[in-house]
Chains A and B, each alone.
Chain A
Amino acid sequence: MRASVEHTVTFVSTSLLLLLVLGLAILGFVLGYMRARAIPETAGRPHSRPGYHGWFVFITTLLPAVFLIALWSAAAPPLINSLVKAELPERELSKSPAELSLTISTVQSLARGMELLSPGQIAEVRTGKPVLGEMLEAKGVPLASAPLPYLVSAALKQNALTSTSGLLKTVVGLALAIAGLVFGYLRVGHAFRARNNVEGVMLAGLAAASTVAILTTVGIVFSMLFETIHFFQHVPMSNFFFGTVWDPRFSAAGQAGASEGQFGLLPLLWGTLYISLVALIVAVPIGLFSAIYMSEYASRHVRTTVKPLLEVLAGIPTIVYGFFALITVGPFLRDAGAALGLDISATSVLTAGLVMGIMLIPFVSSLSDDIINAVPQSLRDGSYGLGATKSETIRRVVLPAALPGIVGAIMLAASRAIGETMIVVLAAGIAAKLGWNLFEPLTTITVKIVSQLTGDLEFNSPQTLVAFALGLTLFCFTLALNIYALYMVRKYREQYE
């Protein structure tokens, strides 16, 4: 809670600065526009219209200043931290990294607490009297113990540096904005190619936007890769990839000398694949036959009604399916099983697979429908000409021609099933084991990612880090499936185009 208050404070001051810069930029636009309007047309019309001159001044005012402010805001806190760290006495610095980071966070919470005090109180603290604890207590910031003098001085230094940095940032940012404004304003003139410059900046902006997708992928891979490497420093790779026991030992986590626990991937992978297989067994026949009927038999009217209705199934949020599985399907299957003398538990492979299969129907049916429609009519006509019935044509001509694309569609559905989280979290159970029984709970990779990362464990324990290794495994798995499936679908579509 306190951390978020501090965030709000810096957030407001920086955003106020940005607002000021934006105001200057708007002023720049107006000035540039007026100046361009005032250019005499004696030597023919100016190269660019006044609006472009205005935008040019806007850009020269805004962009450099915003870049600087962003850079400063990112670079200043680590810099200040290292300066404050240098302030600490030698014996603190020689402690273990964990203790050092504890000391630093104490300094930071002291610094935050002191920001609430009045200048007079700060002056009193500077004299070295041990009054800080009471003052902070009065402001609602209780301290665990009386702060050591060097911690207080480090905190004072931290606050001084932070406020200096904030002041400098404001001054330099505003100066740069004004300099940009003057520069842009002076450039406005008869022959100045303002439009080309503005369009150049726009193009650069568009290109930069298109790299966000790349950055996201890079971010995904690297964020998980680093933590995964970290994880493999705690747990050997063979334990993870070939282990058949999943037992992360939450209770023993953090205790010295406790055994590390078992992090075998195989039971989770088995559960994931088994549940996905059940889902595909439900979704593929229903989806495929729906697609065949819609594209080959149904009238236009039926098709335009049924296709969007089936696609509603793909638009329902997965949490709704999860709740449906938990509250309706699970108990129904359990009661039905009891009536037949079968022992079906409420959370089971069957429940999760069945509900996930319902969700996947439109993934199979819509894509297959498109692909079957792309098969050229001439192939069908040829088959009819030889006397084949409609179903014979579909089975012997259309489906074989569409097969690669349909396989692609099924693989896309499979990748959905493997990465699906909410249904399995609510309906599959948490038992990590290698078993065939359809009626018993099994668990999946995604369930374990959720349970490992929603606990209150410290971040550096293998119990938490394993989630990143699981995430990376999941990402690689679905990526391979997706690339292959997209390749199949695209290649197939191009074949007949």
Chain B
Amino acid sequence: MTAAAIPADNAGPVANSRSLVEQSLRRRYAAEARFKAYGIAAIVIGLSFLVIVFASIIQRGYTSFVQSEFRLDVTLDKDVIDPSGKGEESDLLIADYPLLIQDALIKALKLDPKSRVDSRLAGELLSSNADTTVRNYVLANRGEIGKTVPFWVLAHGNVDSVVKGAFDRSVPEARRKLNDKQLGWIDQAVASGALAKRFNTGLFTFGASSQPESAGIGVALIGSLFMMLTVMLLAVPIGVAAALYLEEFAPRNRITDIIEVNINNLAAVPSIVFGILGLAVFINFMGLPRSASIVGGLVLALMTLPTIIIATRAAIAAVPPSIREAALGVGASKMQSITHHVLPLAVPGILTGTIIGLAKALGETAPLLMIGMVAFVVEYPTTPLEPATALPVQIYMWATAAERGFVERTSGATLILLAFLACMNILAVILRRRFERRW
């Protein structure tokens, strides 16, 4: 580009510099195109990461919404269930239901009931929790004892993976969890309709279990619900009140400056630190029970507070001063102008911020690990003071479980978590689109 770069032996200085400029232009335009391509490539890479994350989880998880179950005609033998004939609940609870179910399966597979090996192999096809359905039915309908009733009972996790085609049959028989005989029975049962995939309600209702086929997120959903309620009841009123004070009433001085810097910093403190705070303050100092969803809710409320304060302040600041002045002009007090006029106009913005904050809290795991939510909870909690787990913690526990069958469950639970989050975020977007006012 510079004059010194022009060679002396060319035809004319004008044509010469022109061709030089054209050459450099070509180079510069190429650089321009390259630069733009880098930008497009970056966006494409970013978006493809998004697609890969979702695709990998959906591909592994969608099968978890169906579960293999055997359709068996179980004879509710009176001698096995209620030998004393008194119908006492303690007898009914401990009766040998697995035996009844195993007999029904042997009959359904047309096996020889006298062959003990076959009986044992057939029993391995059933989930160790298969008897729950039958037991609950008997307890609810004592009149049915002695009759033959059709049931859908859970198949073992290994059978489930065979039915879903995830079982590698090429592995030598000795190293497989199911042998050729059992695989033959499974194929036969599938063909006859005695073994089928049904919608997996257990995934949504069961509690913790060491067997993948009888593990579910029921307890975790209740725990998460309690936590979200706690967060809503605590973080929203406190957050909105704090934002109102800081935005409308606070004098501009050192203290309010410190509060502001503090809130911005709290929003960026690692979540695990909040968990340590919860362990030290709520559990060790205040003596609240470990693993309780109220402690989780308190910790998540503290974590969500900055998000809600920041969103509420933005929503309040967006209400034009003319509204306040008009209210003051007709004789309202400052508090009245704010509670009667500014706050109602800021509600859509506050709601949007709150929902986004709640969505963040719903997916949070690390602080909950600190306060002992990593717990094997089978029973549904009825109050927030009882031990519970949370949806993301359940995912963490399944992700670290050794059983292969849990991978599918984990992906399924992840999909449910993502569906919740997507609904919340879509709701926030809709609220913003519909009610947001531009002044």
Contact = CB atoms under 8 A, between A and B. Distances in A.
B245 interface: yes
Interface class of chain B by DSSP: helix
Interface in A316-346: 316-324, 326-328
A53 to B, nearest CB: 15
B374 interface: yes
Nearest to B277: A220
Contacts of B136: none
Contact of A213 (B309, B399, B407): B309
Contact of A426 (B29, B41, B400): B400
A139 to B, nearest CB: 19
Interface in B228-246: 237-239, 241-242, 244-246
Contacts of B266: 213, 216-217
Interface in B257-272: 258-259, 261-266, 268-272
A158 B220 CA distance: 37
Contacts of A446: 270, 272, 366
Contact of B238 (A212, A327, A391): A212
B386 interface: yes
A384 to B, nearest CB: 13
Contact of A324 (B31, B53, B250, B425): B53
Interface string B295-307: 0000000100110
A193 B378 CA distance: 57
B387 interface: yes
Interface residues of B, number: 92
Interface in A453-486: 453-454, 459, 467-468, 471, 474-475, 478-479, 482-483, 486
Contacts of B50: 309-310, 312-313
Interface stretch (A33-41, A94-102, A199-207): A199-207
B36 interface: yes
A184 B57 CA distance: 61
B268 A206 contact: no
B280 interface: yes
A102 B263 CA distance: 42
A216 B32 contact: no
Contact of B35 (A319, A391, A418): A391
Interface string B47-84: 10110110011001000000000000000000000000
A449 interface: yes
A486 B365 contact: no
A358 interface: yes
Given A7-B385, A214-B262, A320-B414, A327 B60 contact: yes
B219 interface: no
B383 A8 contact: yes
Interface of A: 1, 3-4, 7-8, 11, 195, 199, 202-203, 205-207, 209-214, 216-217, 219-220, 223-224, 226-227, 285-290, 292-294, 296-297, 306, 309-310, 312-313, 315-324, 326-328, 358, 361, 365, 389-392, 394-395, 412, 415-416, 418-422, 425-426, 446, 449-450, 453-454, 459, 467-468, 471, 474-475, 478-479, 482-483, 486
Interface of B: 28-29, 31-32, 34-36, 38-43, 45-47, 49-50, 52-53, 56-57, 60, 237-239, 241-242, 244-246, 249-250, 258-259, 261-266, 268-274, 276-277, 279-281, 284-285, 288-289, 292, 302, 305-306, 309, 333, 335, 359-360, 362-366, 369-370, 372, 374, 383, 385-387, 392, 395-396, 399-400, 407, 410-411, 414, 417-418, 421, 425
Chain A to chain B: the 5 pairs with minimum beta-carbon distance, closest first: A419-B270, A293-B39, A317-B363, A223-B280, A289-B42
